[in-house]
Structure 1
Amino acid sequence: MSEIPRRTVQRTAKLAGLPLGAAGRFAAGWGKRLTGRDADEVNAEISARTAEQLFAVLGQLKGGAMKFGQALSVFEAAVPDEYAEPYREALTKLQSAAPPMPTRDVHQVLTEQLGSAWRSRFSEFDDVPTAAASIGQVHRATWHDGREVAVKVQYPGAGEALMSDLRQLQRFSRLIQGIVPGTEVKPLLTELQERMSEELDYRVEADAQRRFVKAYTDDPNVRVPRVLASAPRALVTEWVEGTGLAGIIRDGSQDDRDHAGTLLSLFNFSAPHQVGLLHADPHPGNFMLDGDGRLIVIDFGAVARLPGGPPPTFGVLLRLALGDDPDELLRFLRAERFLGPRTELAAEDVLAFLSPLVEPLRTERFTFTRGWMQGQADRVGNLRGTDFRTSRSLNLPPEYLMIYRTTMGTTAILCQLGATVAARRIVGDWLPGFRTD
């Protein structure tokens, strides 16, 4: 068997082991309960071991499996409290940690991408990576002019591994749904597949990052590191340091949590106006606070292109959902293709389904909490509930998919932070169609 097929078989076997391993643990747990073991104790043990396997497999495989884990990590706030802690710890690791590639492979990629004299472009280069993630890892170095830089190097064969993993995970999506409760797995995997090709070319990422740099240069709230050099599989940017959002989620003061949440919301809603792009990879590993209290934003591989700024559709939808005329909301949803012409839904049911988007806007300031997120996930995920039936009848036009997922991903981070944010003011300032004045 050749080397590439052997690796493919090994990756497939490890991914297949995720749902099979979970099934085995739940069966063993059922047996332990029959012998008199306490049910809560057994459930906690199963959750811890399942989370450990989830991190071990997704982290080791990198590629699409790792990318899926990173996207999944944002929604740990929706995991019920009785299962949450082991998942929280394991999924948070996936935001910035993965086994590194060998030094010889790093040097080979840099030679191919930056030329045989690539070392002359740096006065120092640390062969030990500072971070390793889904399709590449980051090395700290010193540029030839003395600036500290971050060098992102893509794993050899990352594209093949990424798409193979995502196809494989699609096959197991219903089983994985049971491993990580409170998350819609299949739509998440489908969207990841659709936008991965752009992420594999670092020149596309560099172009997007340069546009963000231009828009946010000298901004008092947001800092984006400059791009110094780029190639399809290598990217050199300014080195930035700060406190990652994962650290603030874990140990930050309430003031830090509120500040980080406010800046994250402001960035999410202002970027389409400022840049014509939406940063569409919202997980805590992509954000930090610097010493001046600014939000540092990194990793621009996934963006939604909004050349005319944010579409007013979402603003109008939210305004109508906050209003007193649910029938007008229903007419608007039909006109904008969120609802088919022959689909019958009660306006009150649609309003209830939209509450995760609308509720934070009903007051001047809203406190996002894990409990609130868990309640929303339970309500929408209840197969026998009205909200689940409503979700099956509504249609999200494809052009709004990334905007919606980014907004919900950002909301999930706000819940992890437990941040109190003036969301209504931020949405009113930056989302067209929301305000009537």
Structure 2
Amino acid sequence: MSDKREDNSLGGRVKRYAKVGRAMGGLAARVAGHRYLGLKVDRAEHASELKSALGGLKGPLMKVAQIMATIPDALPKEYVEELRQLQANAPSMGWAFVKRRMASELGPDWQKRFKEFTHEAAAAASLGQVHQATSLDGRALACKLQYPDMQSAVEADLSQLKLIFRLYERYDRAIATQQIHAEIADRLREELDYDREARAMALYRLMLADEPEVHLPEPVSTLTTKRLLTMTWVEGEPLMSFLDKKPKVELRNKVAYNMFRAWYVPFYEYGIIHGDPHLGNYTVRPKGTADEGAVNLMDFGCIRIFDAKFVQGVIDLYWALQNDDRELAVHAYESWGFKGLNKDVIDVLNRWAMFVYGPLLEDRTRKIQEHESGIYGREVAESVHADLRRLGPVTPPKEFVFMDRAAIGLGSVFLHLKAEINWYQMFHDLIRDFDAKVLAKRQKAALKEVGL
């Protein structure tokens, strides 16, 4: 029943180019002026202006901006700090839009299909906003509505992003960006299909069925379309609100353990990962409730399905670092499809791998990062990036865009929690009985069950 006028169109893309040009033109000019001409700009002020402009634009550039904020040296630190806040604090659209969207998806009498439906959005992000509702049988619901013209916006923004990456490579040869762009494009196009996201949600409910302290919403298929996703409402509070109450370390550790299981049980048992671990995609069951410290996992538009051999490579690299087996490390990188490798590049990649795997290599209780340095991994990443700029370009396999993002995103969560855990034991609990053939069969069966 969705409005076909919102499908990808030339007119929609042209309008988007104009809006994006206004928002991004200032950034390009000022950053270029700073890099090449030495012009002084108030970067903190301009970064705040850029965040506001992108928030008002809606759409994929907000998500891309967050991804760019994780690429070392791509943007000044002031921009990184502002852009990291985008998805959690995006301004919502008004009731007039909500009524149009709901009517186009469920018909003119859509309000009769709910007992209650709130006018104000409970949350707003890059591609859509969420409203609370109550079903006719009394269940608390969350209805995610996609913003208008998102298909045109995605295609226009991906074209703009390709140009941005080309400019990036002119002054920074560390990373070849073609595969990064391809991966972002694939995931963004998938995120537009809320029917697909509902199936991905069902998949995660299947994979995490044996995790009692990881809660997920349940999709409501009769109230879901390509641009409207209706699911059960899950109660929780944002991580920062949870931390404001100064919970004891035991409770913080419990949250960290549950987050670790929520992300990595699906990966090591099914070869599937949630690729978007920003702060808006999960909440914590609050202190004082029956299951305090349990977590709610939400937003399944960005999942990544890996071949069993990719997961095997992740484990191979772990053992290579644990046993100082350089040949096995090279095998792992090559099995993933890394190109442009030589001895010096491998040494640099191993340095990054030692940081990512570091907490898993020591059989002791420790923090995820034992020195205070702001953004998780930034110092190490910048050092690695500088060496790759000197040695590069390196062409990373596209699978690494969201795998790396998940690792850094989760590391940031654990850093906020100041969790003190034996990460080695948690990791070994997951990989102890790993068998790539078993994973492949299990993955195939699970995807077939949910229709993905």
How has the CA–CA distance of structure 1 residues 315 and 107 changed in structure 2, closer, same or farther, with 3 Å as cutoff? same
Distance 1:406 1:50, change over 3 A: same
Taking structure 1 as the reference length, what is the TM-score of the superposition?
Answer: 0.79
* From 221, 226, 250, the counterpart of 1:232: 226
> Equivalent residues in 2 for 1:15-54 (5 A)?
15-22=24-31, 46-54=42-50
Match of 2:239 in 1: 245
Evaluate the alpha carbon distance shift between residue 325 and residue 285 of structure 1 in structure 2; reply closer, same or farther with a 3 A threshold: same
- CA 1:307/1:147 → structure 2, altered by over 3 Å: closer, same or farther? farther
Corresponding position: 1:222 with 2:214: yes
Q: CA offset at residue 17 of structure 1?
A: 2.0
- How far is 1:135 from its partner? 1.0
Deviations 1:7-38 (A, max 9, x none): 5413322222222244568899956xxxxxxx
1:286 deviates by 0.2
Using the TM superposition, give the Cα deviation of residue 47 of structure 1 relative to its aligned residue in structure 2, in angstroms: 3.5
Q: Measured at CA, do residues 211 and 6 of structure 1 come closer, stay the same or move farther in structure 2, by a change above 3 Å?
A: closer
- The residue that corresponds to 1:142 in the other structure is 134
Q: Secondary structure at the match of 1:55?
A: helix
1:313 matched to which residue of 2?
A: 313
Gaps of 5+ in 2: 1-10, 436-452
**2:216·2:298 contact (CA, 8 Å) conserved in 1?**
yes
Aligned match of 1:355: 354
Match of 1:373 in 2: 377
Whole-Å separation in 2 of the counterparts to 1:204 and 1:285: 20
Match of 2:184 among 192, 204, 209: 192
2:107 maps to amino acid: G
CA distance in 2, matches of 1:316, 1:22: 41
Moved more, 304-313 or 143-152: 304-313
Cα distance, 1:117 vs. partner?
A: 2.6
Distance 1:173 1:290, change over 3 A: same
Q: Percent identity?
A: 26
User: How far apart in 2 are the matches of 1:350 and 1:26?
Assistant: 27
In structure 2, how many angstroms separate the alpha carbons of the residues matched to 1:351 and 1:3?
Answer: 45
The number of residue pairs the alignment matches comes to 409
Shift of 1:288: 0.9
Aligned residue in 1 for 2:277: 282
The answer as to whether partners of 2:351 and 2:384 remain within 8 angstroms in 1 is no
- Structure 2 distance, partners of 1:56, 1:175, is 24
**CA drift at 1:214:** 3.2
Q: Is the 8 A contact 1:22 1:50 kept in 2?
A: no
Corresponding residue number in structure 2 for 1:38: none
Q: Secondary structure at the match of 1:146?
A: coil
| Alpha-carbon offset, residue 225 of structure 1 | 0.9
Amino acid at match of 1:290: R
Query: What is the distance in 1 between the residues matched to 2:330 and 2:91?
Result: 50
- What are the superposed Cα offsets for residues 77-128 of structure 1, whole Å, 9 maximum, x if unpaired? x799x956x853x334312232322323222221222233321210111121
Distance 1:260 1:189, change over 3 A: farther
Task: Choose which of 85, 100, 108 in structure 2 pairs with 1:108.
Answer: 100
More displaced 10-residue stretch of structure 1: 161-170 or 133-142: 161-170
Structure 1 residues 399, 368: CA separation in 2 closer, same or farther (over 3 Å shift)? Answer: closer
Query: 1:154 aligned to 136, 139, 146, which one?
Result: 146
Partner of 2:205: 213
Report 1:49-60 matches (<5 A). 49-60=45-56
Q: For structure 1, which runs of at least 5 residues remain unmatched after alignment?
A: 32-42
